Amino acid sequence: MTFGMTAEILARIQFAFTVSFHFIFPAFSIGTASYLAVLNGLWLWKRDPAYLKLFEYWKTIFAVTFGMGVVSGIVMSYQFGTNWSAFSEKAGAIIGPLMGYEVLTAFFLEAGFLGIALFGRKRVGDGLHMFAVVMVAVGTLISATWITSANSWMHTPAGFSIDGNGTFIPEDWWAIIFNPSFPYRLTHTVLAAFLTTAFAVGAVGAWHLLRNGTNRQAQIMFSMAMWMAAVVTPVQIFVGDLHGLNTLEHQPAKIAAMEGHYETHQDGAPLILFGIPDDDAETTHFALEIPKLGSLILTHKLDGAVQGLKEWAKQDRPPAIIPFFSFRIMVGIGFLMLGLGLWSLVSRWRKDLYTSTWLHRAAVVMGPSGFVAVLAGWYTTEVGRQPYTIYGLMRTSDSLSPVEAPAVGTSLLAFIIVYFLVFGAGVFYLLRLMRREPVLDEDHELDKGPHRAAGITPGPAQENPIREGLPNAD
């Protein structure tokens, strides 16, 4: 089963496929873990059962997402060996310890405290339970740090030497971990994860508000999500710009591909809003350009020089079409996010945040936007690194295992079938969990009758049992 392709192409498709599936789960669980810590903290602080309900509500969704992230991540940790053994052998001494530290400092922390965070509130008490919830959140962030460092090193390698076998030898771990693109990439990635969660949470809140505008839990989650959208999106756009400047410094060919520039512009490059890059003809067809704006964005000068792809030999260039479009998708979504965030601020000021039907509809539509943006950004940077795995030093074609195409093709087919089956079901279950209205336990009894008026919370005398035990299969 080779589908007429070489082992290298099949292995690349397999990696792209498995990592894309994997990436969307942590992108969501990083933000959700922190959100759970905030919700649980608010519950302990204010003892408002709405926060407890929200914690329990998102906890279940987190558990399903986290499980899928774990199993799809184990695949990644072995795929470096099965399909990319030449890369692993040459760069394992550098990439391996970074991932090893991820396991030791993050994965065990998450896994060790996850059971207590999910199931242990009654057994350990509020304080230790809160500690466990925070440890899970911290674990996800530590994990993001190490894996982003490893990935950044492949883009901007530093702190190493190369021996006679062509093996990368670590010389300076500080320089390896804090390689030039790492701080930008880490900030950009973690903020992206937070925004992904914020827009997913906002969509769920909005969806329930459209059905029952008085549901206080839905109001709270919608409000929190819109604060995130309004505050974090501008920061993310700013950080993204810095990340782009860093890329221009270290990987100018990637920028040329993203911008669709084949020619070098010495005195001010235009910004190509839209076009169709053509690597064979070495031109971007149907280019819709704004003069000088490209240089203004990239060099912060109207007539700054911007290199085009023709500066590099053809075999050393990244393919332009994927970075060109994926970058535009990411940026476009970023500005839509900014728009929704600003809209929510206006709506908040006009005091119709919980009643503005159009805002809620827009928020529902924007629910998956974070996932799309994260993947689009990831494709931009990874395809833009081609034709190298370690930028400028090790080619993708030299990184492959001595595998035969049928073996890779068969495993690729198996992964595709299993992933669509398993993760398709998982997404279905997630959507079903999100469809449940977040009602307080007392509300269940009232569900059949008319809905309660807004804003009534149970008095202190009413006990709110912490129920984590009941199976909630439907």
Partner 1 sequence: MPIDLPTIWAGIIAFAVLAYVVLDGFDLGVGILFPFFPARKDRDVMTNSIAPVWDGNETWLVLGGGGLMAVFPLVYATVLPALYMPIIAMLLGLIFRGVAFEFRWRTQRASQYWDHGFWIGSTLAGFTQGIALGALVQGIHIADRQYAGGWWDWLTPFSLLTGVAVVVGYALLGACWLNLKTSGDIQARARRLAMITGVLMLVLIGAVSLWSPFINEAYFERWFGWPTAFFSAFVPTLIAACAFALWHGLTTDKHLQPFLAALGLFVLSFVGLGISFYPYIVPGSLTIEEAAAPDSSLQFMLVGALVLVPAILAYTGYAYWVFRGKIDPDEGYH
392 lies in the site for partner 1, by CB under 8 A: no
Shortest distance, position 258 Cβ to partner 1, whole Å: 31
Among 156, 411, 434, 438, binds partner 1 (CB under 8 A): 411
Write out the binding residues for partner 1, residues 69-128 only, by CB under 8 A: 70-75, 77-78, 80-82, 85-86, 88-89, 91-97, 99-105, 107-116, 118-120, 123-124
Shortest distance, position 337 Cβ to partner 1, whole Å: 30
Shortest distance, position 338 Cβ to partner 1, whole Å: 35
Give the helix/strand (H/E) hosting 271: strand 271-278
Distance between CA 105 and CA 109 in Å, rounded? 6
Closer to partner 1 by Cβ: residue 68 or 248: 68
Q: Which residue in 314, 362, 317 sits closest to 338, CA to CA? A: 362
Shortest distance, position 144 Cβ to partner 1, whole Å: 16
183 lies in the site for partner 1, by CB under 8 A: no
Residue 236 burial (10 A CB sphere; 0-12, 13-18, 19+): buried
Among 31, 304, 426, 438, binds partner 1 (CB under 8 A): 426
Give just the sign of the alpha carbon dihedral 272, 278, 280, 283. Answer: negative
Query: Residue 379 phi/psi, 5° resolution?
Result: -65, -40
Shortest distance, position 147 Cβ to partner 1, whole Å: 11
From its phi and psi, is residue 427 left (phi > 0), alpha (psi between -120 and 50) or beta?
alpha
Closer to partner 1 by Cβ: residue 154 or 403: 403
Distance between CA 348 and CA 350 in Å, rounded? 5
Shortest distance, position 369 Cβ to partner 1, whole Å: 25
Among 5, 48, 170, 392, binds partner 1 (CB under 8 A): 170
Shortest distance, position 44 Cβ to partner 1, whole Å: 19
Q: Are 14 and 79 in contact (CB under 8 A)?
A: yes
Of the ranges 236-244, 251-259, 299-307, 418-426, which one interacts with partner 1 (CB under 8 A)? 418-426
CB atoms within 10 A of CB 119: 14
Closer to partner 1 by Cβ: residue 170 or 392: 170
Distance between CA 426 and CA 67 in Å, rounded? 10
Among 231, 242, 288, 414, binds partner 1 (CB under 8 A): 414
Q: Which residue in 76, 103, 95 sits closest to 17, CA to CA? A: 76
Q: Are 318 and 294 in contact (CB under 8 A)?
A: no
Please tell me the count of residues contacting partner 1 according to CB under 8 A: 76
Among 1, 162, 169, 346, binds partner 1 (CB under 8 A): 169
In one-letter notation, the amino acid at residue 366 is: M
Of the ranges 247-255, 291-299, 397-405, 448-456, which one interacts with partner 1 (CB under 8 A)? 397-405
State the binding string over 19-58 for partner 1 (x if CB under 8 A, else -). Answer: ----------------------------------------
Q: Are 366 and 199 in contact (CB under 8 A)?
A: yes
11 lies in the site for partner 1, by CB under 8 A: no
427 lies in the site for partner 1, by CB under 8 A: no
Give the helix/strand (H/E) hosting 170: strand 168-170
